[in-house]
Structure 1
Amino acid sequence: MPKPRVKSASQPSTLQRDAEALNAAVSDLVRIYQFRDRDKICCYDISVTQCYALEALVEQGPCRSQALAEALMLDKSTTTRVVDALVRKGYVERRTDPVDARALSLEVTVSGRKLYDQINAELIQQQIDLLHDLEPEVRAGATEILRRLAKAAQARFMSGVSVGSCATACGTDANEGKSCG
């Protein structure tokens, strides 16, 4: 019976090389989009995080602050500061929760919806400009890959998986409530 081949440390596996290439590509893409988002969204006098909150409220409808914090993957105090700014600017309202009158529900205002629609339309136009030279099946494939990667990454994040020294400093159990920031 032949012995199994052991890859030497000097010869990375195909999976290793693919992971390194994906990491570099995603890092480049995220960096470009972060700057694009900051430059495009911040000209509307809201931060990128405030825009994400507005987007979450538009997409999921009115919700409590804790649900928004979970959707944004932020702690409750950070979410409160983000929402406070959106309320001051007139883009979000706090209303009595229809299910529990003791609680407050967050809801996008008409002007908040208008702002979201305007920002979203401009961002989608940028995507159209990027995609117009690609074949329809390439566009669909790229979108599917990004969705699957995002879903897998979110599942790992939600399960408490962390990386590097943060994994030890923060703990890897999602129920410990530790954070690196």
Structure 2
Amino acid sequence: MRISGFRMLRRAVAALWYLSALSALNRSARRPYNRSDSMAAAFSLVELVLALGVAGFCLFAVFGLMPVGMQTNRNATSQTAATNIIAGIVADLRATPAAATTSPQFAITFGTDKTLYFDTSGQASTSLSTDSRYRLSITWNSAPTGLHYAALKVTWPAPADPAVTTPSGSVETFAAFDRS
């Protein structure tokens, strides 16, 4: 009996289809426990210890840098407040009319050195109190007629005299005022 090529191909396809259907049924059935399957699906103890070590090191570094970040934030806040104090003083001096010799808000006399103390809310005082946080020193320099040069320096904490001790922080600027 001779089988043609087409019939042979048809029988081969039918046999392959039958085998693939059987293998699909076998895959859906429960397979017996195989040790290599469980090793591929789980982490080893060494891998877990290494992962916990890396995570612990990262957390240790983050928590170790927290005090540094808090101190930097505190310094930035103090510098911003000191800069705002200087900006307010310069604005007050610039707003003084040419005929007047004393500034309207802080009563600063042109040409006379002055020290003011500020609390955390920005309220000025001429004397050191328990609430004082910042010390502003205004030093006037010689200038031609009609001009006034001032060096403004804010230091903190206020009780620390910059002439005697080193303050924990300071902001300094130079300002020129045309009074003509």
TM-score by length of 1: 0.25
Determine which structure has the larger strand proportion and give its number: 2
TM-score by length of 2: 0.25
